[in-house]
A and B are shown apart, each in its own frame.
Chain A
């Protein structure tokens, strides 16, 4: 199972020949994305766009682990959901300001990532996926039984509060601005990680683990670091979502949520920089609109999974990248 590569050779090659012009292109796309995010709340329902942004950030964090670290985690809901609980609890019960509440949620998620990650990286490939799934299920049971999560009622009526104790963000648009800033901060951080020397080593481990071991790299440490980073950013997304919807519930720690983030990344394009964002927009929109016709979300998600795995493994952005011969 060693050296399991999870992305297609296509995207690998694309990344390898990433050039200066690609960086310029990325910068342009970032600017375009920023403009789109700025306009979106006036065209679409702001809460829906905020949901997409939270999911996109969650998927970006997941993609950091899968696309660049080669580790398929099937338990990322644990970080997303637990951070949401902690953030909601901090804001509601301790009365912390939103930025501190988000910080609490993110920190707990990082810690949880360290604990679960230390266990999970002991195995590779499919075993890794099963272990993360099982560990996340344990977190689900703990969330269900623990007092502070409110069981199946969840934590409700979380105040959005005042940013830094000054700025009131209870209106949808004010909160939208905050969410957008968090999203871009997280996104740029991930972009930076991918393009750092650390990111290079990570990809090398993904592609050929034995070679990196023999070159003297402490592979386990690299895997753990990327796992913790991914968990941290997933926690940031989960905390933000708790404030947006003013609630935290079992939905976000359930295994279905872990499956959903895999789906979002798969649809958008694993191992691409922008794929998770496109995937989040498509999946959230699809679930919101199609479910209104009485379609079962489960059948829909399952079908998209099957179609993507069978026919569309590069995802939307991966396909675009190949079409235009650029790295995205």
Chain B
């Protein structure tokens, strides 16, 4: 068996593949953050809570409405996205005139409330959500056992990231979006309904978080804390990538998943901190982030 630094090559492949799966979650989540940031200039701290809500929505659809995973994959993002739209209209939109830090604080407060509500209603032990029957089981690859569902996660996240990117780069709505990111006043002068665009963008970003949540439900513990744990890592991912481009945030997400996977092989003790260390290094060398633009 070939080995690199004492680690069998086969194990390495396996870890890289698994790293890619974690990267899928980072990518979808940081994509949502980047879209919201691009237009609203606000970091959505409630993103983790909305990811958690996506997972819970999937669980509720199954247990209260009898709708399975495939329905949840469509309905949960819609429902949670709708919830995001309400939040934006009622609360967030009132803060656009103020310093962006207020938006950050508001969404932090919202995240606490959401997490608290789910905690008091469902406890924290975590709920059960089964892998859909069609995706149960797995493939025996020469170097590892690869569960089918994990493959699906990679494919689904890639598909979503790609279609969001296409939608922003190639459609008329996307063009408005990009234009409004650059200069909202000018776009408004052209007769585009900018407030509506902002609302829809926020809803869309939230829906992406919820989508990631539904993807996570069958493999991670569905509990109220699941979002709080991941959101700080995603923040670090966002700082590393910079918020300059949509593509940049997606690529950084996948890449850091891979790096984390590698760390798990060579130095598992450091896999919790590796992303933060990379963040520190990037800040030293290229403060604007890998894909960022300095203002």
A and B in direct contact, judged by CB atoms within 8 A:
yes
Contact residues of A with B, CB < 8 Å? Answer: 1-2, 4-6, 72, 119-120, 122-123, 125-127, 129-131, 133-135, 137-138, 141-142, 145, 255, 259, 262, 266, 296-306, 309-310, 313
Contact indicator per residue, chain B 272-290, by CB within 8 Å of chain A (1) or not (0): 1101110110011001100
* A1-B295 contact, Cβ under 8 Å, with A296-B119, A299-B113: yes
A72 touches B113 (CB 8 A): no
B249 in the interface, Cβ–Cβ < 8 Å? no
Size class of the contact patch on chain B? 35 or more
A302 touches B232 (CB 8 A): no
Contacting residues of chain B (99-133) with chain A, CB-CB under 8 angstroms: 99-102, 104-106, 108-117, 119-120
User: B276 touches which one: A6, A137, A304, A305 (CB < 8 A)?
Assistant: A137
User: A309 touches which one: B105, B239, B273, B280 (CB < 8 A)?
Assistant: B105
Complex Cα distance, B238 from A167, in Å, reads 52
> Which of B100, B114, B277 gathers the greatest number of chain A CB atoms within 10 Å?
B100
A303 touches B113 (CB 8 A): yes
B199 in the interface, Cβ–Cβ < 8 Å? no
A259 touches B112 (CB 8 A): yes
Query: Smallest CB–CB gap between A244 and chain B, Å?
Result: 26
A-B contact pairs, 14 of them (CB 8 A): A1-B295, A4-B100, A120-B283, A122-B283, A126-B101, A129-B101, A137-B236, A298-B113, A298-B115, A298-B116, A300-B116, A303-B109, A304-B109, A309-B102
Chain A residues with Cβ below 8 Å from B283 are: 119-120, 122-123, 131
A302 touches B112 (CB 8 A): yes
B287 touches A305 (CB 8 A): no
B236 touches A134 (CB 8 A): yes
Query: Smallest CB–CB gap between B280 and chain A, Å?
Result: 5
Query: Smallest CB–CB gap between A54 and chain B, Å?
Result: 22
Chain B residues with Cβ below 8 Å from A309 are: 95, 102, 105-106, 109
Query: Smallest CB–CB gap between A10 and chain B, Å?
Result: 12
User: B120 touches which one: A120, A125, A142, A296 (CB < 8 A)?
Assistant: A296
A123 touches B232 (CB 8 A): no
A131 touches B108 (CB 8 A): no
Query: Smallest CB–CB gap between B276 and chain A, Å?
Result: 4
B232 to A, closest residue via Cβ: A137
A122 touches B91 (CB 8 A): no
A134 touches B232 (CB 8 A): yes
Complex Cα distance, B106 from A310, in Å, reads 8
Chain A residues with Cβ below 8 Å from B165 are: none
A145 touches B102 (CB 8 A): no
Given contacts A123-B288, A137-B232, A309-B109, 7 further A-B contacts (CB under 8 A): A6-B101, A145-B269, A255-B228, A296-B116, A296-B120, A299-B120, A305-B109
A122 touches B287 (CB 8 A): yes
Complex Cα distance, B283 from A183, in Å, reads 35
A131 touches B279 (CB 8 A): yes
A255 to B, closest residue via Cβ: B232
Query: Smallest CB–CB gap between A271 and chain B, Å?
Result: 12
Contact indicator per residue, chain B 72-96, by CB within 8 Å of chain A (1) or not (0): 0000000000000000000100110
Chain A residues with Cβ below 8 Å from B91 are: 306, 310
User: B102 touches which one: A119, A138, A141, A313 (CB < 8 A)?
Assistant: A313
Chain A residues with Cβ below 8 Å from B115 are: 298, 302
Chain B residues with Cβ below 8 Å from A125 are: 100-101
Complex Cα distance, B42 from A298, in Å, reads 23
B176 in the interface, Cβ–Cβ < 8 Å? no
Complex Cα distance, B116 from A297, in Å, reads 8
Complex Cα distance, B113 from A306, in Å, reads 9
> Which of B108, B119, B235, B272 gathers the greatest number of chain A CB atoms within 10 Å?
B108
Complex Cα distance, B101 from A266, in Å, reads 12
Chain A to chain B: the 9 pairs with minimum beta-carbon distance, closest first: A305-B109, A302-B112, A298-B116, A302-B113, A299-B116, A138-B276, A122-B287, A134-B236, A306-B109
Query: Smallest CB–CB gap between A220 and chain B, Å?
Result: 11
Complex Cα distance, B290 from A123, in Å, reads 14
Chain A residues with Cβ below 8 Å from B17 are: none
User: B272 touches which one: A4, A134, A141 (CB < 8 A)?
Assistant: A141
